[in-house]
């Protein structure tokens, strides 16, 4: 069940012949799970830009005749869940910047961690911020480097920022795509049908009928335009490629939850990694039981792996409506819970009198799992054993999902990681989380390309933050 944190999805498309707005629109649909608060597209038709940004889902923002006005063979798009900055129209991306009086557009997934000082510095120099996003700080730094060419200005801007980013930047007839030096956020490249695409997930390439070809390397700037593709700074940008790969800290939570199950990153399909998590979870926490029930959709694949390992039947006893909006953004707990009653229901005949192993990917506030356990009990389940395919989420994320804003609501933090206390609070007969070691093993058991065991960020589970919050995040005292 989609229940809480989402981040952002980005993409950029260049076509050799046709208009790109329909493909960007379809691509944004494929990334909708990464953010439903706002969506935007900016295109360039060779003379002028066209843009449309709005609050809500892709369907809501680009309904009617909107797409026909987004002319051009090149453009970028963004789906947003508000990370840094509030949930307002002006913060919806792509964000516009100015370079030598010519606009450019940026779409960002990630979170910068030294924005407080940089923002103050830019304001002092006379920059007028129109948004409260960290992304506009990159735009302002590009603006202050306009004595250079655009690529050089972009490079100089990025060398000032810290934190995580995957970016696509549209400047006239060129798209620049890049990932931060730690490669924390995904960005992949694909092509086909005379079209080149940079996107947050490989599933976008599938949806658009293209071939996913490679992951953008950490610290690399890809330059994409009609007739050519190059890694502009590539090895030279911030350090050597070898060094960049060593320093990489890809977000392990992408495999736990964010990536679509059909997406591949670093050669690993998310579905396979989630199944391994389920298998390892069972190895660590086998219990006498009759059936396995996934919490849809987030627990589906871990439950498959767990059921295979356990030799137990899997029952789809929980039904999730896909037509109800997210509960996470509802500001009041009461409203969240009401939302969930229409979102999730149980099929009682499947669980009555049974010893149930219920599987989900994580517990954040515990709203969802408590509701699930209540429903299963009311439906007559004899025992309810809760299994979670990641470790307790104890530490807030500063790198893109901004759980520091709900830090005090994280149940594992509030209860000091005491699993027995959490079990009591959620009302399960038993509770087990996948160990950190088990999580790391699960990822590595699926053959990948470059990422080694130490190339993953797992700070929200381990507390090992690889990027310190030196200057502070704008809007948060640190
Ligand atoms: S702290 Fe967690 S969610 Fe945030 S980047 Fe690291 S692994 Fe991902």
Q: Is pLDDT above 70 for 181? A: yes
pLDDT at 340: 61
Q: Is 169 in the pocket of ligand 1 (CB under 6 A)?
A: no
pLDDT at 477: 41
Among 182, 391, 459, which is best to mutate for testing ligand 1, by the most ligand atoms less than 8 A from CB?
A: 459
Among 395, 458, 463, 473, which is best to mutate for testing ligand 1, by the most ligand atoms less than 8 A from CB?
A: 458
CATH topology of domain 9-248: 3.60.20
Nearest-atom number in ligand 1 for the CA of 459 is 1
Label residue 353 exposed, middle or buried (CB < 10 Å: 0-12, 13-18, 19+).
Answer: exposed
Ligand 1 center–CA 457 separation, angstroms: 6
Q: In this structure, what DSSP letter does residue 314 have?
A: B
Q: How many CB atoms lie within 10 A of CB 320?
A: 20
Among 460, 464, 469, 473, which is best to mutate for testing ligand 1, by the most ligand atoms less than 8 A from CB?
A: 460
CB 200 within 8 A of CB 187: yes
Q: Whole-number mean pLDDT of the chain? A: 90
pLDDT at 86: 64
pLDDT at 478: 35
pLDDT at 2: 43
- Please state which of the four CATH numbers 3.20.20.70, 3.40.50.2020, 3.30.1300.10, 3.40.50.920 is assigned to the domain occupying 268-449: 3.40.50.2020
Q: Is 105 in the pocket of ligand 1 (CB under 6 A)?
A: no
Higher pLDDT, 195 or 244: 195
Average pLDDT over residues 471-476: 56
Q: Is 410 in the pocket of ligand 1 (CB under 6 A)?
A: no
**Is 0.75 surpassed by the pTM of this model?**
yes
pLDDT tens per residue across span 213-258: 999 988 888 999 998 777 654 444 555 566 666 789 999 999 999 9
Write out the E strands in 253-339.
264-265, 268-269, 291-294, 318-320
Q: Is 251 in the pocket of ligand 1 (CB under 6 A)?
A: yes
Percent of the chain with pLDDT over 90: 75
pLDDT tens per residue across span 26-61: 999 999 999 888 999 999 999 999 999 999 999 999
Higher pLDDT, 215 or 478: 215
Q: Is 252 in the pocket of ligand 1 (CB under 6 A)?
A: yes
Rounded distance, CA 21 to CA 23, Å? 5
Average pLDDT over residues 315-337: 68
Q: Is 458 in the pocket of ligand 1 (CB under 6 A)?
A: yes
Same fold, 9-248 and 268-449: no
Label residue 378 exposed, middle or buried (CB < 10 Å: 0-12, 13-18, 19+).
Answer: exposed
- Write out 367-407 in H/E/C secondary structure: HHHHHHHHHHHHCCCCEEEEEECCCCCCCCCCCCCCHHHHH
Domain borders along the chain are 9-248, 268-449
Side-chain-facing half-sphere of 384: CA atoms under 13 Å: 28
Q: What are the C-alpha distances in Å from 82 to residues 7, 8, 10, 117, 397?
A: 7, 8, 14, 21, 14
pLDDT at 228: 79
The catalytic residue positions are: 8
Question: Where residue 177 falls among pLDDT bands split at 50, 70, 90?
Answer: very high
Average pLDDT over residues 369-374: 95
Question: Where residue 179 falls among pLDDT bands split at 50, 70, 90?
Answer: very high
pLDDT tens per residue across span 90-141: 889 999 999 999 999 999 999 998 888 899 999 999 999 999 999 999 999 9
Q: How many CB atoms lie within 10 A of CB 130?
A: 12
Three-class DSSP category at 193? coil
Ligand 1 center–CA 301 separation, angstroms: 20
pLDDT at 64: 85
Q: Is 184 in the pocket of ligand 1 (CB under 6 A)?
A: yes
Percent of the chain with pLDDT over 70: 88
pLDDT at 457: 97
Four-CA torsion 270, 272, 275, 276, nearest 10 degrees: -110
Ligand 1 center–CA 7 separation, angstroms: 11
Ligand 1 center–CA 329 separation, angstroms: 19
pLDDT at 190: 95
Q: Is pLDDT above 90 for 398? A: no
């Amino acid at each position: 069940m989609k229940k809480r944190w989402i981040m952002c999805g980005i993409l950029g498309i260049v076509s050799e012949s046709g208009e790109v707005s329909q493909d960007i629109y379809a691509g944004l649909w494929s990334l909708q799970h990464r953010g439903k608060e706002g969506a935007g597209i900016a295109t360039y038709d060779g003379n002028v830009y066209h843009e449309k940004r709005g609050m809500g889902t892709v369907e809501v923002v680009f309904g009617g005749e909107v797409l026909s006005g987004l002319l051009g063979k090149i453009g970028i798009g963004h789906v947003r869940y508000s990370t840094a900055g509030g949930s307002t129209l002006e913060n919806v991306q792509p964000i516009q910047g100015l370079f030598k009086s010519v606009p450019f557009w940026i779409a960002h997934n990630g979170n910068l961690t030294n924005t407080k000082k940089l923002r103050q510095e830019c304001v002092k120099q006379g920059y007028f911020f129109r948004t409260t996003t960290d992304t506009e700080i990159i735009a302002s730094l590009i603006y202050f480097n306009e004595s250079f060419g655009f690529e050089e200005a972009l490079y100089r801007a990025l060398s000032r920022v810290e934190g995580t980013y995957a970016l696509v930047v549209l400047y006239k007839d060129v798209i620049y795509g890049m990932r931060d030096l730690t490669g924390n956020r995904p960005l992949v490249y694909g092509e086909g049908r005379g079209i080149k695409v940079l996107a947050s997930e490989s599933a976008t390439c599938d949806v658009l009928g293209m071939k996913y070809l490679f992951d953008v390397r950490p610290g690399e700037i890809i330059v994409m335009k009609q007739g050519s593709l190059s890694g502009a700074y590539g090895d030279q940008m911030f350090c050597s490629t070898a060094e960049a790969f060593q320093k990489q800290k890809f977000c392990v939570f992408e495999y736990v939850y964010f990536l679509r199950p059909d997406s591949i990153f670093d050669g690993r399909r998310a579905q396979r990694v989630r199944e391994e998590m389920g298998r390892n979870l069972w190895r660590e926490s086998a219990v006498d039981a009759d059936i396995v029930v996934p919490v849809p959709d987030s627990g589906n694949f871990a439950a498959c792996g767990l059921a295979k390992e356990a030799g137990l039947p899997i029952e789809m006893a929980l039904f999730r409506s896909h037509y109800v909006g997210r509960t996470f953004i509802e500001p009041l707990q009461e409203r969240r819970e009401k939302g969930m009653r229409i979102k999730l229901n149980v099929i009682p005949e499947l669980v009555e009198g049974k010893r149930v192993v219920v599987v989900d990917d994580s517990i954040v506030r515990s709203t969802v799992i408590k509701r699930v356990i209540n429903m299963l009990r009311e439906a007559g389940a004899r025992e309810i054993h809760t299994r979670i395919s990641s470790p307790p989420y104890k530490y807030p994320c500063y790198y893109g999902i901004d759980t520091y804003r709900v830090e005090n609501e994280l149940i594992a933090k509030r209860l000091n990681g005491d699993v027995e206390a959490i079990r009591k609070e959620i009302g399960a007969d038993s509770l087990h989380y996948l160990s950190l070691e088990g999580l790391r093993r699960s990822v590595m058991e699926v053959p990948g390309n470059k990422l080694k065991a130490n190339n993953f960020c797992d700070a929200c589970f381990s507390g090992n933050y690889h990027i310190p919050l030196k200057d502070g995040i704008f809007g948060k005292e640190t």
